[in-house]
Chains A and B, each alone.
Chain A
């Protein structure tokens, strides 16, 4: 019974994730594409919970759904990208076919390699407490932790600089 519940919820979450992803890349309206992305991100968060990583799931919702999606929404609004909807053009069918072939080829190749040479599994997934994660960040990987702060600062300073420069020129 327990196994059935786990399998059924995995299938449901995988469906939500992949369905949201497909909607995100096929929707004509960018706001709808963003909604598809949000659904896909929530599906991935549910998959994290299912694999006993609740902290990562919470961070996924906090960072991706809370910050990145809002940022992309701002990008849509500020650039009025929504107004210029993607109209179908004559050469589009070939372009879609080529893009699909590339995506399928890359993912299929990696999937085949993974299925053929999969590593050994442990019985159950153990939960990692946030305290342990904190020890990892502030212990062995302190340099990476500091560098990502610098990267975030540089990205935000760069964003402000880019946006201000345009206003000065206008």
Chain B
């Protein structure tokens, strides 16, 4: 097994754990934590692929920096949304935000 496969296995581990957390958690903040884990796995896989294959290295690293910027923007918005949900539904749990029947 080569180095790239090892790095990608770690990244897939983060992805799998993140998906598990996203589906299993009841609170919105817990789901946000899982999403951050998945984004980290993506960044790790991209940088490893850039460093260990003939692809341009700077491209892969700047892609990961873009992903980090997007993650910061995303968590800012999710913080505001969780705050509003808490004010409107009285709880920051995903089960509280189900007004439709079904």
* B-binding residues in A (CB < 8 A): 10, 14, 17-18, 21-22, 24-25, 30, 33-34, 37, 40-41, 44, 47-48, 51-53, 55-56, 59-60, 63-64, 67-68, 71-72, 74-76, 78-81, 84, 86, 95-96, 98-100, 102-104, 106-108, 110-111, 114-115, 118-122, 125-126, 128, 132-133, 135-137, 141, 144, 148, 151-152, 154-156, 158-160, 162-163, 165-166, 170
CA of A111 to CA of B21 in the docked complex: distance in angstroms?
19
Complex interface residues of chain B between 15 and 63 (CB less than 8 A to chain A): 15-30, 32-34, 36-37, 40, 43-44, 47-49, 51-54, 57-59, 61-62
21 contacts between A and B (CB under 8 A): A24-B37, A41-B40, A47-B44, A51-B47, A56-B64, A59-B68, A68-B75, A71-B72, A71-B76, A75-B29, A84-B93, A86-B30, A95-B23, A100-B20, A102-B20, A103-B20, A115-B5, A118-B5, A132-B58, A148-B73, A152-B72
Tell me what chain B mostly uses at the interface: helix, strand, loop, or mixed.
Answer: helix
Do B29 and A103 touch (CB < 8 A)?
no
Interface of A is mostly: helix
A158 CA / B76 CA spacing, docked (Å): 9
Closest CB in chain B relative to A86 CB, distance in Å: 5
Are the C-beta atoms of B54 and A122 separated by less than 8 Å?
yes
A68 cross-chain contacts in B, Cβ below 8 A: 36, 71-72, 75
Q: Is the CB of A99 within 8 A of B40?
A: no
B78: chain A residues at CB < 8 Å are 75
Bound state CA distance, A63 and B74, in angstroms?
A: 13
